[in-house]
Amino acid sequence: MAGLLGGDDDTNQPTTKRTKGSNADSMRTLSVEDLKDLGGGDHTCTEEIHVNNDCFELYKEMQKNRRWFHQNPEIAFEEVETAAYIVACLKSIGIEDKDIWTEIGVTGVVAMIYGEKKGESTCIMLRADMDALSIQESSSADYASKNSDRMHACGHDGHMSALLGAAKVCFNNKNKFHGCIKLCFQPAEEGRHGAPAMIKDGILEGQAAGLRCGGPRVDACYGIHLWSFERLGGIQCSEGPVMAASDRFTIEVKGKGGHGAVPHQSKDAIVAAASVVTSLQSIVSRNVDPLEAGVVTCGTINGGFGYNIIADKVTISGTARAFSKNTQEIIKSRMGAICCGLQEAYGGSNTLDYEYGYPPTVNAYPDCVKNVQRTGDKVVGPKRSSLPQKTMGAEDFSYFLEERPGCFFFVGAAKRGEILPHHKSVFDFDERALLISSSMFVELVYDLLS
């Protein structure tokens, strides 16, 4: 662990030029060739970028941290070693014990950095998620997972290392900003509601709430997601919904079993279930505004005992996605109506169990979106800092955005060649995106708190 905490002297770093950012001489220009010289060979970036100079100097350290996280993945609420590593990194930066809180939201870590410049006492929260997925990695990378059936297949390893890099830069430049930064290393983003667990422990309200987490009350929050579907050098940031609500449903279809040769003496649960599945597909196409969006996916269907036996029960499970609570409720309501109607039609009984998951992730505060876009203008240029992005994937940063102003945005990290999708056993991202992610965090702090 200790060997991954310090920086490296790297005489092979490319020679680059500096440009002026929010602080004089804080930015370094990297050409397309400079990025290639950093290692990793060809990339998907087509124009020069401008990264924070201090982040540039920490690139090898961020890369090493990312690879440690990737080799040692832990799933939701089991991120014990991950949390210990993060705490060791924070202490090596110089953050004192009194400004670090552990076991927030079970396994989360929170730390404070206080600016030394005179000004408003604004508190900005920067968040990185910590958990991995239950996937057996099939990558041939030399930093592939060491843990069976555990893999960082969504970029959270990169989020943590970028935030640690940004934390080190901000701590060493406390004289450049006022107010404070609350660092949020969040567990259990992958479907286990880690964000509300941290909220329950007081991460947003701080010490005044008398809960587990200290520090000041958070005024605004910002989060990043590395994105393998966008090329390196692109930042996707826009107003409105950017990720969907993610709900689960289970439908139990009950009939009356019997012999396949005498179907008139039975109530065939398989036939009824087939009608349920096909009817559910009409919900979005015939009930949701065509200018809106929704998804109803049946992921599993289980029932039956043998080729000549009429099944008495079938279970269907799936997911529903929507960008608005109104569409969410339309989908749920129509599911219930379909189940009731087909129950009458086929003479059995249908039971719907609908479970609300994460709410939509909505960038509802235009000023916060503009803050990110202005910072992105400096880092990747105005043509690439405000790219639109909406995905039916889900993200529990949505809970933070329901409580505080803020913005959630995507940093392009596609590797050259075939896209390596999130949540797949071959997933990977271009590590040079760590430079952009950490620079976005640092320059956002400087822009907001200078």
Q: What element of type H or E holds 235?
A: strand 235-236
Q: Do 298 and 165 sit in the same domain of this protein?
A: no
Q: Do 171 and 217 sit in the same domain of this protein?
A: yes
Collapsing DSSP states into helix, strand and coil, what is residue 35? helix
Note whether 255 and 67 are within 8 A (CB): no
pLDDT, position 42: 87
Check pLDDT > 80 for residue 9: no
pLDDT, position 13: 54
Note whether 77 and 185 are within 8 A (CB): no
Q: Do 226 and 140 sit in the same domain of this protein?
A: yes
Q: What CATH number does residue 24 fall under?
A: 3.40.630.10
pLDDT in tens, 204-227: 999 989 999 999 999 999 999 999
pLDDT, position 412: 97
Q: Do 347 and 373 sit in the same domain of this protein?
A: no
The mean pLDDT of 119-141, rounded to a whole number, is: 96
The structural domain count of the chain equals 2
Which of 339, 358, 377 lies at the terminal end of a domain, its last residue? 358
Q: Do 25 and 49 sit in the same domain of this protein?
A: yes
Range with the lowest mean pLDDT among 4-13, 39-48, 151-160, 331-340?
4-13
By percentage, how much of the chain surpasses pLDDT 70? Answer: 94
Q: Do 126 and 270 sit in the same domain of this protein?
A: no
* Enclosing domain of residue 233: 2-242+363-449
Catalytic choice (34, 54, 131, 443): 131
Q: What are phi and psi of 256, to 5 degrees?
A: -135, 120
pLDDT, position 26: 86
Which of 338, 358, 378 lies at the terminal end of a domain, its last residue? 358
pLDDT in tens, 376-422: 999 999 999 999 999 999 999 999 999 999 999 999 999 999 899 99
Q: Do 161 and 207 sit in the same domain of this protein?
A: yes
Please tell me the pTM assigned to this model.
0.92
pLDDT in tens, 249-273: 999 999 999 999 999 999 999 999 9
pLDDT, position 22: 43
Q: What CATH number does residue 262 fall under?
A: 3.30.70.360
pLDDT in tens, 56-67: 999 999 999 999
Note if 96 is an active site residue: no
Compute the radius of gyration of the chain from its Cα atoms.
25
pLDDT in tens, 292-328: 999 999 999 999 999 999 999 999 999 999 999 999 9
Q: How far is 409 from 107, CA to CA, in rounded Å?
A: 24
The one-letter code for the residue type at 276 is V
Q: How far is 125 from 428, CA to CA, in rounded Å?
A: 27
Q: Do 232 and 286 sit in the same domain of this protein?
A: no
The mean pLDDT of 106-115, rounded to a whole number, is: 98
Note whether 287 and 214 are within 8 A (CB): no
Q: How far is 81 from 91, CA to CA, in rounded Å?
A: 15
Q: Do 158 and 183 sit in the same domain of this protein?
A: yes
pLDDT, position 119: 87
By percentage, how much of the chain surpasses pLDDT 90? Answer: 90
Q: Which of 45, 230, 151 is closest to 426 using CA atoms?
A: 151
Catalytic choice (189, 219, 252, 312): 189
Q: Within 102-254, where are the H helices? A: 156-171, 194-200
Average pLDDT score over the chain: 94
Q: Do 50 and 191 sit in the same domain of this protein?
A: yes
Q: Do 143 and 89 sit in the same domain of this protein?
A: yes
Note if 239 is an active site residue: no
Which of 314, 339, 358 lies at the terminal end of a domain, its last residue? 358
Q: Do 183 and 267 sit in the same domain of this protein?
A: no
